[in-house]
Structure 1
């Protein structure tokens, strides 16, 4: 047997046939062909991540595990590495299956699943949003809203997106109108010629709305004064501007039950202050509002209006690229119609370009 390979094979064959006759039975499992419906979402764990969006439009997704907890007195760690003139403007947590709605100056709405945002280390710059969404070069993303589930009908029909434009138009539309993502985006609001979208805020329908203008006025009205409209509507008049050079500089939506907020206003020449928002009387939409800063040659026009809390920080950027970071609670609360105090010293021909509210960073924090 050992000398014959053919005989060895025959013996193995005979033994296998014997086992088959003794123990063999019909197949118990069934093999069939069926159409499968597996999406990318099914293959990605719905874990917590940190999303950062920079002032110049760079976006990235980072696992929360990279932001390790530290005890009091720690040295901190290095965050997003951006270009010299850039800084982190938005930082928030989400889960991979959430949706990010992005609204552009020309009134378009685009969608991104959080897991579609490029993953990157926390100290990297990320990728430009324009390239991810193929947004035209003459358009720019102005606002971001995160939605947990676009299939939650109760949430979609009881929450709204409040829009405002530079020319003072406002519009409120149920989130449901933006719950069906399409490649290339959709029209979120009709923008009239010479106007552009400025802000978009998620509300529950019960907020109070503040609009600030370059001329130094601000108006406060109930969100309920703006009836819900369709997606393609242009909206209604939120505030009346003084002249052709006047424009809205910002919109704030505040829950009136939250007393922790104060209203911050800053002028183009670096003057600023905080005021109790209850100093602004409630009125109907469409008026000119009341004085929020005494505008003079010393202050220049108003450039920003923000809702802030004591534990926030401010990032103030000038047109020449100078950036200063300061704690909100370093600014004392002042009367509504006052001029404010100097927040930043600018060169003769320089002006404030942008003001952003960011998370608090302690003075003792250092980079690793």
Structure 2
């Protein structure tokens, strides 16, 4: 019987934690993040090394990309061919990498997001700059480790004779880490590195006097030097990156926006499509055509404008609503000391400088060793020439090569290495010319050894050597900066009044919060039909407005929603509107209490807020003009348990009326309410008894000639005249409006100012809605109950009352 298998009984979380930890470590170190020393991910390093091993260098003809991919997979990188080919292609794309590390022949993709041709069609070779990263790799400059199957060796890191990580940047997502390092200007980065070699403790401000900011391959403009400084200090931050656009005047006096550069990593085709959607959807008025005129001479997107269009406002709108302006997020994570680390600009430069010192020291040790060996051989050869005749005679007497080596070593004191070189000597080397050559070589070797010993023995000499080599790199490969750095982030001012196509529309808001705008044509075709909404819903607001106007929606919890009319959903009259909760974030228990149309915020008008707890607040309308309106904004400060009853747009000359649940009514002048700021709470409008609350509150224009209609919870309705409520002062209890009953007393549900030809909509406990015409309701004095018009025994008590909005009559008037 075979021995029973042994099982380990381990907790699942321990096993998964251990395995995922190992997996994460592998992903972080071996796949997704670049090394701070050479700025390469493993796949990129392996591609370059495989091409070097294959002699696929910048001075040789191009080779099939498929051959390189095969070599990389077979020898160093046991992963999918597509991932290797994608990495190879990216290193050649001029719009993604500041200085190409690979040169490609054939279709290597495009800035429009087009994929490259298959690897069997394209050809590639190492670029001249990438070859500088691989120089001296055979001189024991860097550590080598076994490859995945122990059949070969591969470098842990490349010598990298320029700061590739900062020059070309990097992007990647790994397990728990991500990196986003932008590309920079090679000349600026080398200058900063040279400065840090001289002054390692330089403050960031000095480093930033050399490195102005990112230098993207596609140019553009970076705004916000203060944000840049923070990103370079901590490794994390964000800056605004925008494309380059100019406004040009063409024939006929028309203007056009010409875009010559777009932000880094923005797909041009998507940008053009988004701009054309704005034109097609008529989000703004003034764009006639969007055209992509890019050709082999350079990138060019033309936005043709209509005559009289405001070009500056349209350009600002495009910056704001398309990827013509984006936010670049710095997240400078790289592998340092075999672990991921968030690094600032100085740390990244220090990591590179330390790597260079190590590389140059290792190279110098290797070259010194080679020079000393050669010096030893040259000394032997020179001594051999001086005793040539005896040497030849001794060799001729010897039996074989080994015997010859032993004989000359014994006779003349040559070492084994020198003896080997002498017996392998070719006859032409015995000429007089060769003696001079050997002497010259001996002098050169002496100087070389002295130079290498100085480098290894003096940190100052080491730094001088690195600086000299960096300056040569700059002279050979540096080019002009492409990206402009601007100190301030420009505030984008968009005059929507100028850009929105001015159209008359019908705007409706339902009591349940459904909003829409409808074209006059759709409205006219269905004028005899009720607008689309639920049976239990009704209109709260109905008005003809212009698309350049603004709709303000106020909620029971004291917030307001700012909606430019052109941004309302365009929906047919017959169809249901869109709930306001889909347009902005709104609490589930919040609802719309009032909708107000605003043509201009510059008018001298006021917003009057009236609440359930009897508070009144007056603010200037212009305080409520919002710049950002993706969320509901605070309209006033409400105390706990209070809700907003009504909001009115006034000129400041009218009255305010409060009606309470226990039947008190108070009228006072609006001028008694002081003007306060947007977030203030206001003042007491009516003094409430215990357990009492305001059920209705509204502003009354000075010239109002209508009547007041009250409805009690038992379905009693009565009409009262305004003169029954003489103007008093605020914070009083008011006059009684209900007859006191000892059993089952009435409580007010609402008091509504209305005309005699209107309809009151009365909602009862069973959710049925009853229309009550005001024409048939008699006048009563304040102390009377009124007429019973609702059978509350059958329908339940009255819950809500509002004035019916007749859409047919409203437009006719």
When the two structures are superposed, what TM-score results if normalisation uses the length of structure 1?
0.81
Q: CA RMSD in A?
A: 2.5
Structure 1 residue 356: deviation in Å? 1.3
Structure with more of its chain in strand, by fraction: 1
- The 3-state SS of whatever aligns with 1:133 is coil
Counterpart position of 2:313 = 37
Alignment of 1:236-275 (within 5 A): 236-243=683-690, 245-259=691-705, 261-275=706-720
Alignment of 1:185-224 (within 5 A): 185-224=632-671
Provide the C-alpha distance between the structure 1 equivalents of 2:539 and 2:757, rounded to a whole number of angstroms: 17
Residue of structure 2 aligned with 1:312, choices 758, 761, 767: 758
Alignment of 1:69-148 (within 5 A): 77-148=528-599
Provide the C-alpha distance between the structure 2 equivalents of 1:178 and 1:356, rounded to a whole number of angstroms: 27
8 Å CA contact 1:49, 1:62 repeated in 2? yes
Structure 1 residue 48: deviation in Å? 1.8
The answer on 1:332 being equivalent to 2:778 is yes
- The 3-state SS of whatever aligns with 1:329 is helix
Provide the C-alpha distance between the structure 1 equivalents of 2:514 and 2:609, rounded to a whole number of angstroms: 23
Q: Which region of structure 1 is more displaced relative to structure 2, 317-326 or 340-349?
A: 340-349
Deviations 1:150-191 (A, max 9, x none): 3x3xx1xx2111111111111011101112343323321110
8 Å CA contact 1:212, 1:304 repeated in 2? yes
Question: Which segments of 5 or more consecutive residues in structure 1 lack a partner in the other structure?
Answer: 1-27, 71-75, 363-368
Counterpart position of 2:172 = none
Provide the C-alpha distance between the structure 1 equivalents of 2:807 and 2:505, rounded to a whole number of angstroms: 20
Counterpart position of 2:622 = 176
Counterpart position of 1:63 = 519
Counterpart position of 1:365 = none
The answer on 1:282 being equivalent to 2:738 is no
Residue of structure 2 aligned with 1:231, choices 661, 678, 689: 678
Provide the C-alpha distance between the structure 1 equivalents of 2:658 and 2:719, rounded to a whole number of angstroms: 15
Change (3 A) 1:242 1:41: same
Greater Rg, structure 1 or structure 2? Answer: 2
The answer on 1:359 being equivalent to 2:805 is yes
Structure 1 residue 330: deviation in Å? 2.0
Counterpart position of 2:61 = none
Change (3 A) 1:89 1:142: closer
Q: Which region of structure 1 is more displaced relative to structure 2, 270-279 or 215-224?
A: 270-279
Residue of structure 1 aligned with 2:736, choices 278, 291, 296: 291
Q: Which region of structure 1 is more displaced relative to structure 2, 289-298 or 171-180?
A: 289-298
Provide the C-alpha distance between the structure 2 equivalents of 1:308 and 1:46, rounded to a whole number of angstroms: 33
Provide the C-alpha distance between the structure 2 equivalents of 1:181 and 1:102, rounded to a whole number of angstroms: 16
Counterpart position of 2:156 = none
8 Å CA contact 1:53, 1:88 repeated in 2? yes
Residue of structure 2 aligned with 1:54, choices 477, 486, 510: 510
Provide the C-alpha distance between the structure 2 equivalents of 1:216 and 1:360, rounded to a whole number of angstroms: 29
Structure 1 residue 349: deviation in Å? 7.5
Structure 1 residue 272: deviation in Å? 1.1
- The 3-state SS of whatever aligns with 1:201 is strand
8 Å CA contact 1:311, 1:360 repeated in 2? no
Provide the C-alpha distance between the structure 2 equivalents of 1:359 and 1:138, rounded to a whole number of angstroms: 25
Provide the C-alpha distance between the structure 2 equivalents of 1:349 and 1:254, rounded to a whole number of angstroms: 32
- The 3-state SS of whatever aligns with 1:359 is coil
Provide the C-alpha distance between the structure 1 equivalents of 2:641 and 2:753, rounded to a whole number of angstroms: 28
8 Å CA contact 2:541, 2:595 repeated in 1? no
Change (3 A) 1:63 1:31: closer
8 Å CA contact 2:708, 2:719 repeated in 1? yes
8 Å CA contact 1:270, 1:299 repeated in 2? no
Provide the C-alpha distance between the structure 2 equivalents of 1:109 and 1:181, rounded to a whole number of angstroms: 13
8 Å CA contact 2:540, 2:805 repeated in 1? no
Structure 1 residue 319: deviation in Å? 2.5
- The 3-state SS of whatever aligns with 1:33 is strand
Question: Which segments of 5 or more consecutive residues in structure 2 lack a partner in the other structure?
Answer: 1-249, 260-310, 318-495, 809-813
- Bigger relative CO (Cα 8 Å, ≥ 6 apart): 1
Provide the C-alpha distance between the structure 1 equivalents of 2:723 and 2:564, rounded to a whole number of angstroms: 38
Provide the C-alpha distance between the structure 1 equivalents of 2:683 and 2:506, rounded to a whole number of angstroms: 36
When the two structures are superposed, what TM-score results if normalisation uses the length of structure 2?
0.38
- The 3-state SS of whatever aligns with 2:793 is coil
8 Å CA contact 2:763, 2:799 repeated in 1? yes
Change (3 A) 1:226 1:43: closer
Provide the C-alpha distance between the structure 1 equivalents of 2:523 and 2:624, rounded to a whole number of angstroms: 32
Provide the C-alpha distance between the structure 2 equivalents of 1:123 and 1:136, rounded to a whole number of angstroms: 28
Provide the C-alpha distance between the structure 2 equivalents of 1:137 and 1:319, rounded to a whole number of angstroms: 22
Provide the C-alpha distance between the structure 1 equivalents of 2:658 and 2:550, rounded to a whole number of angstroms: 28
8 Å CA contact 1:267, 1:299 repeated in 2? no
Deviations 1:47-105 (A, max 9, x none): 222122222221111122334399xxxxx621213222222232222111111111222
- The 3-state SS of whatever aligns with 1:176 is helix
Structure 1 runs of 4+ off > 4 angstroms? 28-32, 39-44
Provide the C-alpha distance between the structure 2 equivalents of 1:206 and 1:116, rounded to a whole number of angstroms: 33
Change (3 A) 1:319 1:115: farther
- The 3-state SS of whatever aligns with 1:144 is strand
Aligned length: 323
8 Å CA contact 1:164, 1:197 repeated in 2? yes
